[in-house]
Amino acid sequence: MRIELALDAVADAAYDRSYFHKARGRIWRGLENDDTFSETHDSNHGVGFSYSNIFPWGQIEEGDRRYFRIASPRRGLLDTLIAHFGRERAFEIGQMRFTIDDITGHAPDVGEAGSTGVLETGTGVHCALGRQLAEEYNLDTSKIDAGESETELFWRPKHGMEPLQDAIRRSLQQTHELYGDDYYDGPGEVDEPLFDRIEPIKDDVVYPVRFQPATAVDRTVLLSKWRFGYRVRDETHRYHLNLALDSGIGQRREHGFGFLNLTDKTLPRASD
């Protein structure tokens, strides 16, 4: 599930490439008066949302129409945000200032068993490999030992695709355990992969981005963007893929990383 805000720019502005912390703060303003959500603020127990960048990308001129999407597997969270944005129409991300003209709800679905399609990351995937995961894949942990990478390694192509896919699956499993549907096994509880095809969107595969996880905390993170092909095996796999659409993939999703869009879908033919 997701909501889309249609935004009208009220002033000229340069596009802020380090919007993450400010955008997250604007969303939290809509949740701060509800104890259901506010109690998890600044905790390691994520409240469960992800968000797109403001799109289309580029220099902003007064009167421009832009869009912003927020996704979550929690219907109540989105309902709270709809009510808030309905009252508070100002939407400001630093110098990027808008008014909310319209709010729409969407529930993208990858399709029934046999459907094929493509998911694409609208924002970069944050994938940091902790010591345990790095050691499981026999990766060099000397930078962790030397304190050059804090306690984690950012995934790079030289690490191979398996650690990346495993990190994505583990983080989605955590979301399943927090906010998913108990009727289904989680993505970490089945042997089959989430996706049957993975292609990088950017030629350089990984790229650095300035990231402020909190006020006065400034760091650089390595991100990557991906195109994922899928063929829905069964209802459990359909649930996993739709959960990824609702929650994003990778880590730091509540900071705006790993937002997914469904860009192509073909339903099975009657004879399949």
Task: Return d(Cα 144, Cα 269) in angstroms, integer.
Answer: 51
Residue 84 among the catalytic residues: no
Q: Contact, 5 vs 67, CB < 8 A?
A: yes
Whole-number Cα distances in Å, 26 to 22, 23, 89, 189, 256? 6, 5, 12, 35, 12
Q: Contact, 71 vs 119, CB < 8 A?
A: no
Q: Among the options 21, 41, 126, 240, which is catalytic?
A: 41
Within 13 Å of residue 223, how many CA atoms lie on the same side as its CB?
26
Task: Return d(Cα 126, Cα 251) in angstroms, integer.
Answer: 5
Neighbours of 184 (CB within 10 A): 17
Rg (CA), the chain: 19
Q: Which residues are catalytic?
A: 41
